Amino acid sequence: MTEAGAQNRPVFHYPVRVFYEDTDAAGIVYYANYLKFAERGRTEWLRHLGYDHIRLKREDGLVFAVRRCAADYIKPARLDDLLDVRTMVTKVAGATIEMAQDIYLDDTHLVAVQVKLACLDEAGAPMRMPADLRRVLRGTE
């Protein structure tokens, strides 16, 4: 789901500058690096909500893993571009979160990412999210 299709959902914006290390020989962002940008956006979104990975692991024994990810590469980003990673929740279940992440350069839509995160315990088994986190996330749906 792109931002246009989710007008009532809160969107978290995270800026990412394209560095030399992010590009290929042609100076274009290497496709896998968009997934890294999306990961950073999700991490900072979670921190913005008052949670972070270390706290969730230490206090709740919870870690996240990507269960499914799909990316639609629309236009390329280039060296030194300042990108806007836009993150929004599309669905929250007991042990999963689905999100849409769109990467823009100014008003130009570059990449659309759909991701489903699984909540796991430290041994890698599925676990339900703590109720307080689920309530916060459902407030962002």
Q: Which residues are catalytic?
A: 24
Contact (Cβ atoms closer than 8 angstroms) between residue 65 and residue 126: no
DSSP E strand boundaries for 52-107: 62-73, 82-92, 96-105
Q: Which of 64, 65, 76 is nearest to 34 (CA)?
A: 76
In whole angstroms, give the CA distance from residue 73 to residue 34.
Answer: 9
In whole angstroms, give the CA distance from residue 37 to residue 73.
Answer: 13
